[in-house]
Structure 1
Amino acid sequence: MTDITFVRGDITEQAVDAIVNAANSSLLGGGGVDGAVHRKGGPEILAACRDLRASRYGRGLPAGRAVATTAGRLPARWVIHTVGPRWSAAEDRSALLASCYRESLRAADELGARTVAFPAVSAGAYGWPLDDAARIAVETVRGTRTEVEEVRFVLFDERAYEAFTARGR
């Protein structure tokens, strides 16, 4: 059984096997979590992402998918990049958001990772309502078969931390 924990903090400082990056489809860095991962992880992560773009993901990583790279200078061993969907009032994209968590856990299993730290995927710049993002994240992790022993949700601010811990009870 996977233990689920909640931490208020900076995902780039987590000493876990893998951290999940809320990436954009280009895989080449951006704002929020993605920008922090690339800045703090150093050029090794960008080089690995460029290799992915030159080979398997020429058009970028589609929403709901996940792919792993080195963690560069981060305390984690790997970074699992996943692209969350943008929230839409007109279209239910919940299955794509859930897929981000499932696919990231699948990638973690392929790596042999036992501890994985997740941010609140899609709940920042992509506009997903925080309570719903927390519900989808926690329910999906709980419902996914994995060899990961600990999933740590690392939330940057108090509002996100409260939303996720409320779902974790």
Structure 2
Amino acid sequence: MPIEIVEGDIADQPDLDAVVNAANAQLMPGGGVAGALHRAAGPQLAEACRPLAPIEPGQAVVTEGFALPNAWVIHALGPRYGIDNPSDELLAAAYRNILKAAANNGIRSIGCPALSAGAFGYPLEEAARIAVETVQQHAPAELVFRFVLFDGKTKDVFSRLVE
């Protein structure tokens, strides 16, 4: 299974079936990834999310992509570090549930941010290790999984782990 690591805009991955929203529990627009995806997808995304909320840390749900170049958005809630415990198990569960959602919807390629490593305060090295190990262990061979990361430092940490 190919794991790709890129620095870029999660809302601009036109060659992928799905992108992952680093969602909040209410699945509503916010800052960071959630804000970018909701702005790019249009107001229909928030409408589609409303009946699916709230979700718990570790959960993932799927909606259409609407105005995004992707057919699907997988909304996953990572843990808030030091608040949602056990944080490591919940973060791994979020990635496993992303993969389950992909399998259940025929998704063959995914772009995913570094869940919980931003505003949720998860230490980057540990968040990256859990992300890469979980995807390597649980993703099917035919799936293309691309980590779409917002800066060079984050990309470097993920790249070291994949090599």
TM-score category (smaller protein)? over 0.9
Aligned residue in 2 for 1:57:
none
Q: Contact 1:25 / 1:61 at 8 angstroms: preserved in 2?
A: yes
Q: 1:47–1:89: structure 2 CA closer, same or farther, 3 Å change rule?
A: closer
How many angstroms does 1:148 deviate by? 5.0
SS of the equivalent of 2:11 reads helix
Listed as ranges, the gaps of 5+ residues in structure 2 are: none
The residue aligned with 1:26 is 26
Q: Deviations over 1:80-110 (max 9, x none)?
A: 0000001118954101000111000100111
For 1:96, what is the secondary structure of its paired residue? helix
The answer to whether the 8 A contact 1:7-1:153 is kept is yes
Task: Name which of structure 1's ranges 83-92 and 11-20 shifts more when overlaid on structure 2.
Answer: 83-92
C-alpha separation in 2, matches of 1:148 and 1:112: 11
CA gap 1:77/1:88 in 2 versus in 1, 3 angstroms: same
The residue that corresponds to 1:11 in the other structure is 10
Alignment-derived partner of residue 122 in structure 1: 116
Same amino acid, percent of matched pairs: 47
What count of residue pairs does the alignment treat as equivalent?
Answer: 162
**1:1-150 correspondence to structure 2 within 5 Å:** 2-15=1-14, 16-53=16-53, 60-88=54-82, 92-146=86-140, 149-150=143-144
Structure 1: segments with no counterpart, 5+ residues: 54-59
TM-fit CA distance, 1:67: 0.3
Q: How far apart in 1 are the matches of 2:58 and 2:86?
A: 14
Structure-1 separation of matches of 2:90 and 2:5: 23
Counterpart residue identity of residue 74, structure 1: L
Pairwise CA distance, 1:120: 0.3
Asked if the contact 2:26/2:50 (under 8 Å) is kept, the reply is: no
The partner residue of 2:154 within 156, 160, 164 is: 160
Task: Tell me the TM-score normalized by structure 2.
Answer: 0.95
AA in 2 matched with 1:8: E
Distance in 2 (alpha carbons) for counterparts of 1:115 and 1:40? 19
After the TM superposition, which segments of 4 or more aligned residues of structure 1 sit over 6 Å from their partners?
A: none
Question: What is the deviation of 1:46?
Answer: 0.7
